[in-house]
Structure 1
Amino acid sequence: MKIILTQEVSGLGAPGDIVEVKDGYGRNYLLPQGLAIGWTKGAERQVAVIQRARAAREIRDLDHANEVKGQLEAVKVSLSVRAGDGGRLFGSVTPAEIVDAVKAAGGPLLDRRRLELPGTIKALGSYPVRVKLHPEVTAKFDLNVVKA
């Protein structure tokens, strides 16, 4: 089955890539999850639009990735959230909230899908967060979750 990826799928490809997958994987997982669209001649014309959007938010090269890594590791990121008396949060911290906190702290604009969290963040404290900026560059920073 030939499909066009609309989002990054690890081990398969990036948005805009045309890939060949097994029928069941495409029909039962990739298409229903919105990770891909079926390949047609009309859809193939949309690939250029998807790739242009991808290039706009993509890290340009290895030097740019290292520059962003330096900016990110120099920033102290703190996120204020509502929490109960025992330090447990009302809900959990999402990648979108972390990206907003990095931007508010003066850091670079990040793609929330590239964040690697240590798990679900449901309590106050300090958490290590990794960001995969480039296939060869991964930045690390500490996220301090504090009571609002």
Structure 2
Amino acid sequence: MKKKIDVILKKDVEKLGLFGEIKKVAAGFARNYLIPKGYALYLKDPRAKAILKEKEKIQQKIAQEIEQLKKLAQRLEEITLALEVRTDEKGKLFGSVKPKEVVEKLAQEHKIQLEAKQLEMEPIKTIEEAPTICEIGVRLGQGIAARLKLQLHPLIKKENPASKEPKKRKQKDNNQKETETETKTSQKKK
């Protein structure tokens, strides 16, 4: 039977535990690997108390961060962000609404700073009716998420049947070209 001892982890160790956790491990594993590599300390080591205090401070910071994220999530739930988009008569957008545009509008109107990668959305390319309301998932971190409402108002650009016809270029007839070249050569001679 292997002898087990208690160690406190100084760092996160894959498949073993996180910083500050107290674990029972084989004495040889602790003595030959964890302690020499700086991953752990014996629980009886005087420095172990400092690690426990540091863990408590980190947990307090995380608790404060979670509170702030919950408040932000509640604030995001109450917001309906309005965006005007150019569309044709069928509801197809000229371009698309991307997460970056939503984040910029949110920062501009509500002073909330997010990154585009925090939004759970695909680029929006069409809208069915006017105005369209979409719900976008927002991952804030620490397992906290929120739903943001995005209201799209179309600015319809009507297609002009005349604009579909190819434009005719004005062509100069040969007489005009010859006259122009003669004028240029006579000006050079002077």
Shorter-chain TM-score category?
Answer: 0.5 to 0.7
SS of the counterpart of 1:66? helix
Structure 1 segments, 4+ long, off by >4 Å, are none
Counterpart of 1:63, as a letter, is: E
Please state if 1:95 is matched with 2:112. Answer: no
Gaps of 5+ in 1: 1-59
CA RMSD of aligned residues (A): 2.0
Match for residue 118 of structure 2 among 114, 125, 136: 114
1:27-49 Cα offsets, whole Å, 9 max, x none, are xxxxxxxxxxxxxxxxxxxxxxx
Q: Contact 2:99–2:123 at 8 Å: present in 1 too?
A: no
| Structure 1 position 107, deviation (Å) | 5.1
How far apart in 2 are the matches of 1:86 and 1:75?
28
| Structure 1 position 92, deviation (Å) | 0.9
The structure whose Rg is larger is 2
Name the counterpart of 2:139. Answer: 132
Distance change in 2, residues 1:107/1:69 (3 Å): farther
Match for residue 80 of structure 2 among 71, 76, 83: 76
How far apart in 2 are the matches of 1:63 and 1:123?
37
1:78-132 Cα offsets, whole Å, 9 max, x none, are 1111111111101111111011222233251111111101x33112322110110
How far apart in 2 are the matches of 1:100 and 1:129?
15
Counterpart of 1:131, as a letter, is: V
Give the structure-2-normalised TM-score: 0.43
| Structure 1 position 77, deviation (Å) | 0.5
How many aligned positions are there?
89
Counterpart of 1:141, as a letter, is: L
Counterpart of 1:121, as a letter, is: I
Name the counterpart of 1:123. Answer: 126
| Structure 1 position 142, deviation (Å) | 1.4
1:1-148 aligned within 5 A: 61-106=65-110, 108-117=112-121, 119-124=122-127, 125-148=132-155
Name the counterpart of 1:35. Answer: none
How far apart in 2 are the matches of 1:65 and 1:141?
14
How far apart in 1 are the matches of 2:83 and 2:104?
9
